[in-house]
Structure 1
Amino acid sequence: MKNLKNLTFLLAAGLISAGAQAQTKSTIEGTTPLGSSSEYRTWSIGVNGGILNQTNLFNFARRGNTDMDNNAGYSVYVKKQISPSFGIKAQYLGGKVGGKNAVLGTGFETKIPYSVALSGEYTLANVNWRFFNSVMKPYAALGLGVMNSEATLIDGNTQTKQDKITKMYVPADIGLKFAIAKGVNFDLGYQLNFVNKNFDGVVNGVFQPDVFTYIHAGVEFALGSTAKPFLGNSNPVATLLADNAAKYDAIKAERDALKAANNALTARLDKWDSDLKDDDGDGVPNKFDKCPNTPSGTKVDGSGCPLPEIKHETTVIEKIITEEDKKVVDEAIKNLEFELSKSTIREKSYASLDRVAAILIEKNFSLKLAGHTDNTGSMQLNMRLSKERAEAVKAYLVSKGANPSRIEATGYGPTQPIATNATAEGRQANRRVEFTLY
Structure 2
Amino acid sequence: MKAHYLKFSVLAFGLMATAGADAQEKPERPKLFPPSSSFNTWSFGINGGILAPTVISGKNDFTNWKADIGYGATIKNQILPALGIQADFLAGKLKADNSRDWGNGMAPVSQYDSFETKVSYAASLSANLTLANIYWMNRENVVRPYMTAGYGLMGYKVTLKDQSGVQTKFNAGENVEEAYLPVGLGLKFSLSNSVNLDLGYTMNFVDGDNLDGYRSGPQNDKFSYSHIGLEFALGPKSKTQLSSYNPVAALQDDYITRNASLQAMLEADRARHAAHMEEMNKEKMRFLSDSDKDGVSDYFDKCPNTPAGIQVDGAGCEIKVTTVVNPVRVVVTEEDKKVVAEAIRNLEFDFAKSTIRSTSYPSLNRVADLLKSKDFSLKLAGHTDNVGSNAANMKLSKDRAESVKSYLVSQGVNPSRVEATGYGESQPIASNKTAKGRQQNRRVEFTLY
TM-score, normalised relative to structure 1: 0.70
Query: What's 1:397 paired with?
Result: 411
Matched residues in 2 for 1:7 and 1:159: separation? Answer: 32
1:31 to 2:28 alignment: no
Amino acid at match of 2:49: I
The alignment's C-alpha RMSD in Å is 5.2
Query: What's 1:92 paired with?
Result: 89
- Aligned residue for 1:273, secondary structure, equals helix
Query: What's 2:186 paired with?
Result: 175
Aligned 8 A contact 2:198 2:230 in 1: yes
Distance 1:125 1:49, change over 3 A: same
Matched residues in 2 for 1:249 and 1:286: separation? Answer: 43
Query: What's 1:65 paired with?
Result: 64
Matched residues in 2 for 1:220 and 1:50: separation? Answer: 15
1:78 to 2:72 alignment: no
Query: What's 1:327 paired with?
Result: 338
Matched residues in 1 for 2:75 and 2:444: separation? Answer: 82
Larger radius of gyration: 2
Matched residues in 2 for 1:385 and 1:7: separation? Answer: 93
Aligned 8 A contact 2:77 2:85 in 1: yes
Q: Which moved more, 1:366-375 or 1:90-99?
A: 366-375
1:289 to 2:302 alignment: yes
Partner deviation per Cα, 1:385-430 (whole Å, 9 max, x = no partner): 96897377426622xxx3345446799999999898997x999989
Matched residues in 2 for 1:367 and 1:413: separation? Answer: 19
What stretches of structure 1 of length at least 5 have no aligned partner?
A: none
Offset, 1:121 = 2.4
Query: What's 1:144 paired with?
Result: 151
Identity of aligned residues (%): 33
Distance 1:357 1:43, change over 3 A: closer
1:167-316 equivalences in 2 (<5 Å): 167-182=178-193, 184-195=195-206, 196-221=208-233, 230-245=241-256, 263=274, 266-267=277-278, 269-277=280-288, 279=290, 280=293, 282-283=295-296, 285-292=298-305, 295=308, 298-301=310-313, 304-308=316-320, 310=322
Distance 1:309 1:206, change over 3 A: same
Distance 1:212 1:355, change over 3 A: closer
Offset, 1:148 = 0.8
Amino acid at match of 1:123: T
Offset, 1:69 = 4.3
Matched residues in 1 for 2:40 and 2:25: separation? Answer: 23
Partner deviation per Cα, 1:96-117 (whole Å, 9 max, x = no partner): 3334567999543322222122
- Aligned residue for 2:411, secondary structure, equals helix
- Aligned residue for 2:249, secondary structure, equals helix
Query: What's 2:103 paired with?
Result: none
Distance 1:408 1:260, change over 3 A: farther
Amino acid at match of 1:31: F
Q: Which of 46, 49, 72 matches 1:51? A: 49
Amino acid at match of 1:84: P
Amino acid at match of 2:303: K
Partner deviation per Cα, 1:58-93 (whole Å, 9 max, x = no partner): 474371335x24324112233343x43333323222
Aligned 8 A contact 1:371 1:389 in 2: no
Offset, 1:175 = 1.0
Aligned 8 A contact 2:149 2:181 in 1: yes
Distance 1:355 1:139, change over 3 A: closer
Query: What's 2:132 paired with?
Result: 125
Query: What's 2:367 paired with?
Result: 356
Aligned 8 A contact 2:70 2:225 in 1: no
Matched residues in 2 for 1:265 and 1:430: separation? Answer: 35
Query: What's 1:135 paired with?
Result: 142
Aligned 8 A contact 1:180 1:186 in 2: yes
Q: Which of 169, 175, 189 matches 1:164? A: 175
Distance 1:185 1:142, change over 3 A: same
Distance 1:422 1:313, change over 3 A: closer
Query: What's 2:106 paired with?
Result: none
Distance 1:429 1:163, change over 3 A: farther
Amino acid at match of 2:210: N
Distance 1:408 1:50, change over 3 A: farther
Amino acid at match of 2:229: A
Offset, 1:330 = 1.9
Offset, 1:370 = 7.2
TM-score, normalised relative to structure 2: 0.68
Matched residues in 2 for 1:391 and 1:275: separation? Answer: 20
Matched residues in 2 for 1:257 and 1:431: separation? Answer: 39
Amino acid at match of 2:227: I
Partner deviation per Cα, 1:261-286 (whole Å, 9 max, x = no partner): 65565455445534544634644643
Matched residues in 1 for 2:330 and 2:265: separation? Answer: 58
Distance 1:184 1:51, change over 3 A: closer
Paired residues, number = 413
